[in-house]
Structure 1
Amino acid sequence: MLNVLDMPKTVAATGRITKLLDQLMSGTPEIEAERAVLITESFKQTEHLPTILRRAKALEHILKHMTLVIRDEELVVGNLTLKPRGCQIFPEFSNKWLYSEFDTIAKRTGDVFTITSETVSKLKEQFSYWDGRTVQELATSFMTPETIEAMNADVFTVGNYYNNGVGHISVDYAKVLNVGFKGIIDEAEEAKRTADRSKPDFIKKEQFLNAVIVSAQAAIDFAKRFADLARSLAARMADSERRRELETISAICERVPAYPAASFHEAVQSFWFVQMIIQIESNGHSISPMRFDQYMYPFYQKDLAGGVIRHEQVQELLDCLWIKMNEVNKIRDEGSTKAFGGYPMFQNLIVGGQTEEGQDATNELSFACLEATAHVKMPQPSISIRVWNRSPEELLLKAAEVSRLGLGLPAYYNDEVIIPSLVSRSVSLADARDYGIIGCVEPQKGGKTEGWHDAAFFNLPKVMEITIGNGILNGKKIGLQTGEFASFTSIEKFMEAYAKQMEYFVSLLIQADNSVDYAHGERAPLPFLSSMVYDCIGRGKSLQEGGAFYNFTGPQGVGVANVADAMQAIKSVVFDQKKVTLAELKAALESNFGSSQPSASPDSSQSPLNSLSQEHIVELIKKLILEGSNISLDQLGSLVPRQAAAPTGNEGYLRELLIAAPKFGNDIDEVDEIARQVGLVYCREVQKYTNPRGGTFQPGLYPVSANVPMGAATGATADGRKAGEPLADGVSPVSGRDTNGPTAAANSVSKLDHHIASNGTLFNQKFHPSALNGPAGLSKLVSLLRGYFDQKGMHVQFNVISRETLLDAQRNPEKYKSLVVRVAGYSAHFTNLDRKLQDDIINRTEQNM
């Protein structure tokens, strides 16, 4: 365990870091066409070759010809685009959506990009080659009509990998740092030499291994181009100090990543080349450094002990690297930006936890990484911390200090839940102890796993909506006929129907995911990425063909709390209290609690009462009774419009009853148990299936920020939520419904079965800054965290910012350009977010201690 005396002293950020940050944030992200032009050139020249070799040759062509930039003040070099935070285009995955959005990219309400007319012309020219050749088009051709229909009905979306590269992986960075790409080339050559040429699969293996060799050599040559550029700049540099820096950079790029890193600076630079080239090969996000403090520590320790480097220099190098990671960017279609708002790239870097032998793994770099986040105050890397019962209190207090800055960083993960959950998925104990986080909240063993996390967003309340409609949605049969809503005699019977609909729609989800999986394997195998994941070289297969040791697919359910609250409200209001009927409830939902005119029969649509308010209708009925009218109830019913059965308006009687029912997030066992069952219905169904790579499906319960667009596509729900409003965020309670304080909310969330949701669960809490004032505030946060984790919660993250600040940022965005908040499993600049996503963050329950 770390000795407190060994902890590095806190140092201030240098002036260099301020300059690099100003440079990074100097303008709006811009779309560039260079990569699209280069990959199209290469593919036109290699049509006679197997796909895997075409991909390797394409990467080689891009790295050989792309424009290089070394920016002022940089100590870690390597650019993805000409301009900071620029964005390249990857037409091989999909392109048609971009045709229709060229004119609107700069006018979006979130994730705005500029694009020149020249770039538009270049991209349109390249896109014509890819028509009929994209991953998306092939995936669509594999899907059944029922699957596409369910996607169009917003039951689920696989848009993440449907339109883009997969990403969501952590490679074996330590391998590159310790053997270099020369070592990887030697390994591939040896695998070719020892392969059994008599076996039919040798043909494919040889193609893959040749592709690995081409890709690895391309990475070496790419670094040497930066060595030449740095040397050239140094020769012309008048400033002697900067000249020495450029000469050092040149010498480092001559060595790494070709050879093993010999110093901490070389290790940082080698790491960045790996991170950058993975992005150039494929536009998948969530390329996660994971346990950076572990594989970088030997280089830190050696240099510090040998007097080669001071801690202040280590911190500055980390700060520089953190800034470089914020250069990584991508463009998504406008619909996807609603689910991934704020230019997120999800490069998750985690510190702390335990070793493969079960000892505490905290070291000095664990603290330095947290300090780097405090210095740069940027969304990337998405820093996280592993917690277990032997985590040093000093590390948790340091993490709490960073949380108090209001960045929504770090996120906290519970070893005591995640390690057993991975072991239950057949991950070895040693590998499970060595887990990190991919993207938002998804655990995996780095360097051995193709996890396909974020494989889909599945709308749980939409399935409930279809169940209430007996398989009908918007007048069209979309699901199974599981019984008329009014016919159910208990909440248990209704939940049985919901489970049958879930079974049907999950089967369609699996079909969609596997279609996309097959398409990536056929059209977009990635030899460079595969070369750094065990055991692709040994098996002679790319990741996309099943080369990884562990293979999973992880779709996530969204809206657990909405369904749980709705089930509880139906149980309480309809079956227990008998205050309304199921028929009345269905009518109220269809009318959006009176906010929109429901479809009505010809007779009721002409009712003279149709234009009256609820209060007027009640008064009219009283008057008829008082006057002794002999009007029958049937005759009165013919006059009263359908929505009169469920009083209308925001404060309508029926909606008030539903809202008043017990709610998830208040430590009420009855509703918390329903929430647990709702999660299990989805998770148990998902885990039944296998994927094309020889692995299994594992469920998760988190939304990124898809709870906002999915809510926009979902009708009113029986928890009192109106149509179009956001769904609950992750496994968090519905905003505003957790009224018993943060401990009660944490207690409720901990009662879910987090072990079965091994692809991750996400729990957001928001605190007013005053809650964390002083040392006592930090200690309270750590106590809350430990209490929640002791009850087997998997993950939690904190927004520490006031509602007033967020509202002011909406009104005056120019004053808050640097404001970073936690959105979902990631942080982003608040002013870059779509207005609806901003509102969702503002409306989350603000807790105090």
Structure 2
Amino acid sequence: MEDAAAISQQLRGLLEFLAGMFNADEALQEELKGTQGWINVTVGLRTADNTVRKAIAFRDGQVSVLDEIPADAHCTVVYNKPADIIEMLNASPDESYKMILKGRVRAEGNIMYMGLWNYLMNLVAGVEQQEAVDRQIEEHRQTKQVLSAGTCAGGRQERLARRKSRLTGEKSDPGVKYLHDPYFARYSLEDFPRLAALREELFSVNCEFTGEFGKLITDFHVENGYEVDRNGEPWDPLLRKGETMRYLLGNRKPLIRKRDLLGGTWTTNPVFGGVGRPYSEACHMWGELNTCSKREYEPYRITPESIKLFHKYVFPYWATRNIHELWKSEYNNPLPAQIHELFFAVFYWATVSQSENNPGFDKMLKLGTSGLVKKIEKELERDKGADTEKRHTLTGMKLCLQGVDAYAANLSRQALAETEEEADPARKEELLSIHRNLLKVPANPAKTLEEAVQSMTVTLVCLGWETMDASISLGRLDQVLQPYFEADMAKLSTQAARDKYTGRVIELIGCLYLFNASRLIIAANLGQWQNSGSAPNTCVTVGGITPDGKDAVNDMTYIILKVTELLALNHPNVHARYKPGLNSINYLKRVADVNYITCATPALHNDDAVINALSHHQGWALEDIRDYASTGCVEPSIPGKHAGTTSALEINLVAPFEMAMNNGLHPISNWRLGPQTGAIEDGHFTTFENFYTAFARQCEFIFEQAVTGNNQLGELFHRHHPHLLLSALTDGCIESGKEFLRGGAKYNSSGVSIIGLADVVDSLLVIKKLVFEEQAVTFKELKEAVDGNFAQNPALHALVNTRVSRFGSGDPVALNMARRVMGTVGDFFAGSRDYKGGMYTTGWWTMAHHVAYGRVTNALPSGRLAGEPFTPGLTPHPAASPSLLDNLRDVAQLDHKAMDNNIAFNVKIVPGADDSHAAVVDRMAGYMKTYCELGGMQLQFNVVNSDTLKDAMANPEHYRDLMVRISGYVAYFTGLHHELQLELVRRAEYKL
């Protein structure tokens, strides 16, 4: 109590100092003024036991300190212990986020006002806070230098050598009509100076946190209302969203990037910007407006004008209207929201987005906005007795399409205006071409490949402004564009003309890639912890089979793969489908070749396995399933027919396992959240089956909360941010008059990703064998060792690591345990229903959560020590086996039905120093082919050794574009969080 009293006094002194500064300093007082009046907030600070409790109130420009926290405080910071208050004040960013993830510090109330509190604190303590950041950066730099000592720097030259050594392909695929060398060995990036210049420009700048979207959407609602319209009448969100979209798209600045062949940009920064939605992902940025440009990882540029705009105008308006706060207010702070805020079990991606889908771009290309409007009007004419929801849904769609037309028209005018200022005749003609294309599309059907790509570009950015520009995928791009390629080629009579045109197509697709790479999702520091280095993950899918089961590989397949090789970008996220026995070995080798040259992309998907998994979905037509495309990280969805929201839930499987070990208590958060299923200390588990039942029950509890929360958020999104443009591009929505999030699509589901499978499976194997089968240790002794991080029982730790086979070792017992756990999880979600009336699909990929969760999780019976990362995706532990084939066989034998949201199987392979390019590609393709023939679903190679990664950590200037696969997504290694870099270095490394 004496410590609490002393810290309480210190805290009051600090708060009084802050109050005095704001009350006396005119510049600080100015920060309390918003454009709509004073920005008022009351912040509480207390310990969990309430021995320390204070508050600070900012009201009408005056600041006061309170000894009690008012009931109407906007937010409260809760510290586990008094000492945590002092530690948090002096912590580096890494240390502070670790405290948050460990539950030592948590927030109650409105998270945006918590951000405001951090913003105001930074105004006074910014220098000291930046010093902590700088210390952390220097500590990491020194650690990297030590780690890289003695490593070989040969990776620098090897990457260049790979790019220069290009293989020649054969024309062996029936769908390839015009390409004599599908690998395009004659082309390097130097042959496309436009693409090289645009790429160099991208890598030379940091992403800018732009303010255009935030200003426009706030302007619209300040003028027209939100909860009610400007006349004070209730405003149907379907009509409100349609009007909002028409305003946003019609009033945003039309820009054409210098040198680009395509009109349109994501933001006012054509090179690299972030949109920043104040009701969604950007609502977490209030506290980092003044610090995001100086943080260690992915710093954002932000202008003083944008800081002022967000702080004084945008964020105050959305403080009570953001999705996270609406979830808590409209559902009375439900248990799922409380779980979400502690970051230990479930991350609800639906708090920021419902955008992980494959829109029907083919509909826009075939019909144009004019054709879609006619289709809508025809449906309204047919169903004259349509109810209000249907009429408003279809009207909202039309308003969105009008917005698309307005944006395209403005771009067309901009292109024409720029021709008047352009001195270069060649560039003038390019701008005129952009102008002419935008006069035609997307208002009308596309007739040429150039028109098709321009139409897709405008449509994609408009969809991103409607939902969120994350994981809106381009579908099977080769299948969509091949008819336009063939039509254009048929008009050319000479080989020289066709070769020139093919080069132009490569350049055009390159511009589409660079357009996608020109934005990031704005994320606060904590978000960077969870998804370090992730791009927005627009997916491009190539290859595989057609809806009628034929070979789908075509000319555009190889053109897209060539662009992937040339640009070596982490975005778009490229995926190659492969049908064993049908797609050619020439195609598979090209996939391996591009993977080798780029180090990390594309990922490979086995059509047999994915189609088999989706075929268990009742009512899904086989021809539609065969048309699947990757979404987000790896997840399959049906383009233009499926409301998939494929990464809605990201669940830490270790959390229910720890709760089973602790009778419903989650040890890190110290929250007895789950049901009491038995205490190990009291000898409640007499058989392994007893314990597995407890684990399954804790899983069921966490999964129930996950489903409940996701369904609440889905309903909330429909009420506040319906997806009307996306609905217009999705089969079923126009006909039913139901919006995308209301079950209007032909197929509906929500996707789950599970984190920590191998860690849980290996832990269960230890318990089963050492405790119950061999009785080498009692369950109580094992738990005591785990709770003590094995420090007091190193012999048991050694026994665990040497005596028990792991998943991925080739041991059938371990494989069966993995199948059992996956079945437990998959069966639950297959039997659950989402807010759209669809099922839940189960995936096994982790983003970067395996590092974030692992760093704040205690030791496990598997032998994993406290703070160590979990294994990524579905990948076995590095110690499972020295043989890659053991890993491949085990993963390939898992039940497809239990992974219908796909997997991420990461493998780090290292070619020999004397291996030729052709030999490496042959072996990689051989592994890919064998894995798929065994039944494996997905495979992604990191073709880089640990020495190269260590050298990159210490010398990032030589490796700014070094790509690695994390778990489903591709990232630039040097931009990753320090802990994630270390996890990649420590992954198992297999010789080819």
TM-score (norm: length of structure 2): 0.77
Q: Give the 3 Å change call, closer, same or farther, for CA 433–51 of structure 1 in structure 2.
A: same
Report the Cα offset of residue 169 of structure 1.
Answer: 0.8
Q: Does 1:754 align with 2:939?
A: no
Paired with 1:159 and 1:333, the residues of 2 have a C-alpha distance of 16
Q: Give the 3 Å change call, closer, same or farther, for CA 517–718 of structure 1 in structure 2.
A: same
Whether the 8 Å CA contact 2:595–2:602 is kept in 1: the answer is yes
Of 582, 589, 598, the match for 2:779: 582
What amino acid maps onto 1:422 in structure 2? L
Further displaced range: 139-148 or 281-290: 139-148
Q: Give the 3 Å change call, closer, same or farther, for CA 292–675 of structure 1 in structure 2.
A: same
SS of structure 2 residue aligned to 1:453: coil
Of 434, 438, 442, the match for 1:257: 442
Task: Kindly provide the CA deviation profile for residues 60-111 of structure 1, in whole angstroms up to 9, marking residues without a partner as x.
Answer: 2222222222222111121112222211221123655222222332343323
Of 529, 538, 554, the match for 2:751: 554
Paired with 2:439 and 2:339, the residues of 1 have a C-alpha distance of 53
SS of structure 1 residue aligned to 2:648: strand
Of 384, 388, 403, the match for 1:196: 384
Of 229, 233, 241, the match for 1:55: 241
Paired with 1:143 and 1:543, the residues of 2 have a C-alpha distance of 26
Whether the 8 Å CA contact 1:111–1:343 is kept in 2: the answer is no
The residue aligned with 1:657 is 799
Q: Does 1:466 align with 2:654?
A: no
Paired with 2:809 and 2:834, the residues of 1 have a C-alpha distance of 38
The residue aligned with 2:292 is 105
The residue aligned with 1:156 is 345
Paired with 1:3 and 1:445, the residues of 2 have a C-alpha distance of 22
Of 864, 869, 894, the match for 1:721: 864
Aligned residues: 789
Further displaced range: 57-66 or 446-455: 57-66
The residue aligned with 1:363 is 554
The residue aligned with 1:829 is 972
Task: Kindly provide the CA deviation profile for residues 124-153 of structure 1, in whole angstroms up to 9, marking residues without a partner as x.
Answer: 211222232222222224276543444345
Whether the 8 Å CA contact 1:348–1:382 is kept in 2: the answer is yes
Whether the 8 Å CA contact 1:8–1:367 is kept in 2: the answer is no
Q: Does 1:121 align with 2:308?
A: yes
Q: Does 1:538 align with 2:735?
A: yes
Paired with 1:447 and 1:3, the residues of 2 have a C-alpha distance of 23
Q: Does 1:12 align with 2:188?
A: yes
The residue aligned with 1:45 is 223
What amino acid maps onto 1:50 in structure 2? D
Paired with 2:291 and 2:825, the residues of 1 have a C-alpha distance of 37
SS of structure 2 residue aligned to 1:770: coil
Whether the 8 Å CA contact 1:564–1:674 is kept in 2: the answer is yes
Further displaced range: 446-455 or 2-11: 2-11
Whether the 8 Å CA contact 1:422–1:444 is kept in 2: the answer is no
Report the Cα offset of residue 274 of structure 1.
Answer: 1.0
Paired with 2:180 and 2:370, the residues of 1 have a C-alpha distance of 34
Paired with 1:509 and 1:248, the residues of 2 have a C-alpha distance of 50
Of 299, 320, 329, the match for 2:511: 320
Paired with 1:232 and 1:151, the residues of 2 have a C-alpha distance of 50
The residue aligned with 2:84 is none
* Structure 1 unmatched runs, 5+: 595-642
Paired with 1:278 and 1:134, the residues of 2 have a C-alpha distance of 20
Paired with 2:436 and 2:671, the residues of 1 have a C-alpha distance of 66
Paired with 2:296 and 2:850, the residues of 1 have a C-alpha distance of 17
Task: Kindly provide the CA deviation profile for residues 282-324 of structure 1, in whole angstroms up to 9, marking residues without a partner as x.
Answer: 2241111111100111100010111186211111111121111
The equivalences for 1:433-452 within 5 A come to: 433-452=626-645
Of 247, 254, 258, the match for 2:432: 247
Paired with 2:175 and 2:339, the residues of 1 have a C-alpha distance of 56
The equivalences for 1:279-318 within 5 A come to: 279-307=464-492, 310-318=501-509
Q: Does 1:22 align with 2:200?
A: yes
Whether the 8 Å CA contact 2:206–2:298 is kept in 1: the answer is no
The equivalences for 1:118-517 within 5 A come to: 118-124=305-311, 125-141=313-329, 142=331, 145-162=334-351, 164-197=352-385, 202-307=387-492, 310-389=501-580, 390-426=582-618, 427-474=620-667, 475-486=670-681, 487=683, 488-517=685-714
Whether the 8 Å CA contact 1:766–1:844 is kept in 2: the answer is yes
Report the Cα offset of residue 343 of structure 1.
Answer: 4.0
What amino acid maps onto 2:579 in structure 1? W
Paired with 1:447 and 1:343, the residues of 2 have a C-alpha distance of 25
Report the Cα offset of residue 27 of structure 1.
Answer: 0.9
Paired with 2:621 and 2:643, the residues of 1 have a C-alpha distance of 16
SS of structure 2 residue aligned to 1:847: strand
What amino acid maps onto 1:114 in structure 2? R
Paired with 1:100 and 1:303, the residues of 2 have a C-alpha distance of 52
Report the Cα offset of residue 549 of structure 1.
Answer: 1.2
What amino acid maps onto 1:177 in structure 2? L
The residue aligned with 1:571 is 768
Task: Kindly provide the CA deviation profile for residues 557-607 of structure 1, in whole angstroms up to 9, marking residues without a partner as x.
Answer: 11110111111112232233333221111111111222xxxxxxxxxxxxx
Whether the 8 Å CA contact 1:819–1:831 is kept in 2: the answer is yes
Whether the 8 Å CA contact 1:404–1:800 is kept in 2: the answer is yes
Task: Kindly provide the CA deviation profile for residues 446-469 of structure 1, in whole angstroms up to 9, marking residues without a partner as x.
Answer: 101111111111111121111111
SS of structure 1 residue aligned to 2:647: strand
Paired with 1:655 and 1:406, the residues of 2 have a C-alpha distance of 39
The residue aligned with 2:131 is none
Further displaced range: 834-843 or 68-77: 68-77
SS of structure 2 residue aligned to 1:796: strand
The residue aligned with 2:717 is 520
What amino acid maps onto 1:420 in structure 2? N
Whether the 8 Å CA contact 2:956–2:974 is kept in 1: the answer is yes
Report the Cα offset of residue 326 of structure 1.
Answer: 0.4
SS of structure 1 residue aligned to 2:551: coil
Further displaced range: 466-475 or 180-189: 466-475
Q: Give the 3 Å change call, closer, same or farther, for CA 738–5 of structure 1 in structure 2.
A: farther
Paired with 2:855 and 2:428, the residues of 1 have a C-alpha distance of 55
What amino acid maps onto 1:158 in structure 2? F
SS of structure 2 residue aligned to 1:452: coil
Paired with 1:383 and 1:192, the residues of 2 have a C-alpha distance of 39
Report the Cα offset of residue 499 of structure 1.
Answer: 0.9
Whether the 8 Å CA contact 1:404–1:769 is kept in 2: the answer is no
SS of structure 2 residue aligned to 1:312: helix
Paired with 2:223 and 2:776, the residues of 1 have a C-alpha distance of 72
Q: Does 1:764 align with 2:906?
A: yes
SS of structure 1 residue aligned to 2:964: strand
Of 72, 75, 80, the match for 2:258: 72
Q: Give the 3 Å change call, closer, same or farther, for CA 333–82 of structure 1 in structure 2.
A: same
SS of structure 2 residue aligned to 1:233: helix
What amino acid maps onto 2:347 in structure 1? V
Q: Which 4+ residue blocks in structure 1 deviate beyond 6 angstroms? A: none
Whether the 8 Å CA contact 2:279–2:318 is kept in 1: the answer is yes
Paired with 1:94 and 1:305, the residues of 2 have a C-alpha distance of 46
* Structure 2 unmatched runs, 5+: 1-172, 230-234
Q: Give the 3 Å change call, closer, same or farther, for CA 160–773 of structure 1 in structure 2.
A: farther
Report the Cα offset of residue 412 of structure 1.
Answer: 0.6
Q: Give the 3 Å change call, closer, same or farther, for CA 476–231 of structure 1 in structure 2.
A: closer
C-alpha root-mean-square deviation of aligned residues, in Å? 1.8
Paired with 2:660 and 2:916, the residues of 1 have a C-alpha distance of 48
Task: Kindly provide the CA deviation profile for residues 321-352 of structure 1, in whole angstroms up to 9, marking residues without a partner as x.
Answer: 11111013211232222222214111111111
Larger RCO, structure (CA 8 Å, separation 6 or more): 1
